[in-house]
Amino acid sequence: MEPLSQTFNDTFTDANRPLYEVKANLFKGLAHPVRVRVLEVLANATGDLSVTDLLTDTGLEASHLSQHLSVLRRHNLVLAERRGSLVFYRLAYPQVADLLAVARQLLVEILETTQQNLANTVGLPSLVSAGAASSDAVTR
């Protein structure tokens, strides 16, 4: 599949940039819930998806989706291909789907740990709030 347009962003190709800056720029491409949703839809698809399919699957307005697809292309996360009057999208690399899966696993683990920590506080004695303590001092 030949990409509709492939941008070579200086942020990704500048050999003088530290790797952590390049990684941070990659995460900027992921830094919006709509873009994560679009990537998840593409990751779960059995093949390329047309813009029409993405509009249906995401429930977004065309202009809104177009802006987010542009950011994803600019960050080299998706590829686009024009077929007649339609444009089809797919993940640029299968590792994008892997990254989304790892993020989900990490979030589940964080939530489980948080839930366990909250459960461990159930038996703790209640604390007197600062407001209640100062009102007690005033009434004495």
CB 48 within 8 A of CB 89: yes
| CATH annotation of 19-95 | 1.10.10.10
- Could you read off the pLDDT of 6-56 as tens digits, one per residue? 444 554 556 788 999 999 999 999 999 999 999 999 999 999 999 999 999
CB 51 within 8 A of CB 40: no
Q: Examine the pLDDT at 135 and tell me if it is beyond 90.
A: no
d(CA 9, CA 17): 12
Give the model's confidence band at 127: pLDDT under 50 very low, under 70 low, under 90 confident, else very high: confident
Higher pLDDT, 50 or 130: 50
In the sheet with 78-83, reading across from the earlier edge strand, the strands are 49-50, 86-91, 78-83
How many Å from the N-terminal Cα to the C-terminal Cα in the chain? 80
- Residue 101: its pLDDT value, please? 97
Higher pLDDT, 77 or 137: 77
Q: Examine the pLDDT at 124 and tell me if it is beyond 50.
A: yes
- Residue 92: its pLDDT value, please? 97
Tell me the domain boundaries of the chain: 19-95
Give the model's confidence band at 2: pLDDT under 50 very low, under 70 low, under 90 confident, else very high: very low
Sign of the Cα torsion 57, 60, 62, 68 reads negative
- Residue 138: its pLDDT value, please? 56
Q: Mean pLDDT, to the nearest integer, of 102-125?
A: 93
Pairing of strands 49-50, 86-91: antiparallel
- Could you read off the pLDDT of 65-95 as tens digits, one per residue? 999 999 999 999 999 999 999 999 999 999 9
* H helix intervals, the chain: 10-13, 19-29, 33-44, 51-58, 62-74, 95-120, 130-139
Q: Which of 48, 42, 40, 38 is nearest to 4 (CA)?
A: 48
Q: Mean pLDDT, to the nearest integer, of 104-108?
A: 97
